[in-house]
Amino acid sequence: MKLLRYGPKDQEKPGVLDADGVIRDLSGMIDDITGDTFTGGDLERLEAMEFEDLPEVDGNPRIGPCVGNVGKFICIGLNYSDHAAEAGQTPPDEPIVFMKATTAINGPNDDVEIPRTSQKTDWEVELGFVIGKRAKYVGVAEALDYVAGYCTVNDVSERSFQSERSGQWTKGKSHDTFGPIGPWLVTADEVPDPQVLDLWLDVDGDRKQTGNTSTMIFDVATIISHLSQFMTLEPGDVVSTGTPPGVGMGHKPDPIYLKAGQTVTLGVEGLGMQTQKMIQA
Mean pLDDT of the chain: 95
Residue 94: CB atoms within 10 A of its CB come to: 9
Q: How confident is the model at residue 160 (pLDDT cuts 50, 70, 90)?
A: very high
Please give the tally of structural domains in the chain. 2
Residue 233 sits in a domain whose CATH number is 3.90.850.10
For the chain, give the percent of residues with pLDDT over 90.
88
223-267: pLDDT as tens digits: 999 999 999 999 999 999 999 999 999 998 999 999 999 999 999
Residue 81 belongs to a domain: yes
CA distance linking residue 224 with residue 271, whole number of Å: 20
C-alpha dihedral over 54, 41, 15, 277, to 10 degrees?
-170
- 143 and 228 belong to one structural domain: yes
Evaluate whether residue 68 is within a structural domain: no
pLDDT, position 165: 87
Mean per-residue pLDDT for 264-279? Answer: 98
Cα-flanking dihedrals φ and ψ of residue 185, to 5°?
-100, 105
Residues 105 and 42 in one domain: no
- In the chain, the DSSP E strands lie at 2-6, 13-17, 23-25, 73-77, 96-99, 105-106, 112-114, 121-122, 125-131, 147-154, 157-158, 179-180, 185-187, 198-203, 206-212, 238-240, 263-268, 272-280
> pLDDT tens across 12-49, in order?
999 999 999 999 999 999 999 999 999 988 888 888 88
By mean pLDDT, which of 4-13, 165-174, 185-194 is the weakest? 165-174
pLDDT at 53: 86
